[in-house]
Every structure is written in C-alpha cells, then in structure tokens.
Amino acid sequence: GNSVTQMEGPVTLSEEAFLTINCTYTATGYPSLFWYVQYPGEGLQLLLKATKADDKGSNKGFEATYRKETTSFHLEKGSVQVSDSAVYFCALTLNAGGTSYGKLTFGQGTILTVHP
C-alpha cells in the first residue's frame, strides 16, 4: 500500500535556525508529493509540491526535492521565524497518465515550535 513517514516531533528551534523535517514514502504507483502546513486553529493549506522525480518545490523560503532513489521529500528552510510555528504534514497522491487520483495519503504530522 501507500504510506508516508515523517520524523517524530515535536521540533523546537530558535529563530533563524536551520530546519529539516524528514519525510519518506512508499507508493504502489507514481506519486505527486506535497507538504501541507496547519497553523493553530486553522485547516491545512498547501505549502509546496512536486510532481515528478528531481522536481524542487518551494514557497515562503521552504524547499523540498523529490528524490525517487531514496523515496524522500525532506522539508528544509534556511532560517525559521516565530511565525513558522505550525504543524507540517507530508503527503502523496497517486498519478496515472498525467491525472491525479485525488486521494491524499498523509504522514502523522510534525509539530514545529520556533522561539524568539
């Protein structure tokens, strides 16, 4: 089956520190990969995505590269801010013939807290 595994949290960092949240996946087909972010009291929102191997998704200073050889999609940011405090979810959806099946498989989420 399909699954996503994220590094255990919570992660606590000081402002301007470097962030890495590890994500690995297993998929029976050809997936697109996503990072979603959930700020306190809100729903999930897309942070970035990559649809094929070696693609790099980026947004708001966050980056992740689709690594097919290691089945990974690690999230990185060079300098975190207090406002980045949130829960981060790695996810995948299967594709076929250029079409997305729509259903997402989520990791368990990683809580990030950034202190001033």
Partner 1 sequence: DAGVIQSPRHEVTEMGQEVTLRCKPISGHDYLFWYRQTMMRGLELLIYFNNNVPIDDSGMPEDRFSAKMPNASFSTLKIQPSEPRDSAVYFCASSKRGHLGSEQFFGPGTRLTVL
**Considering the rule CB under 8 A, would residue 50 count as an interface residue with partner 1?**
yes
Spatial distance between the Cα atoms of 88 and 37, rounded to a whole number of angstroms: 5
Judged by CB under 8 A, the residue of 28, 40, 69, 102 near partner 1 is 102
**Considering the rule CB under 8 A, would residue 32 count as an interface residue with partner 1?**
yes
Residue from 114, 83, 106, 101 nearest 13 by CA: 114
In angstroms, give the least distance from the CB of 51 to partner 1.
4
Which tokens is 24 given? 């690995």
Which tokens is 11 given? 């992660």
Q: Can you give the binding site for partner 1, defined by CB under 8 A?
A: 32, 34, 42-46, 49-51, 89, 93, 95, 98-104, 106, 108-109
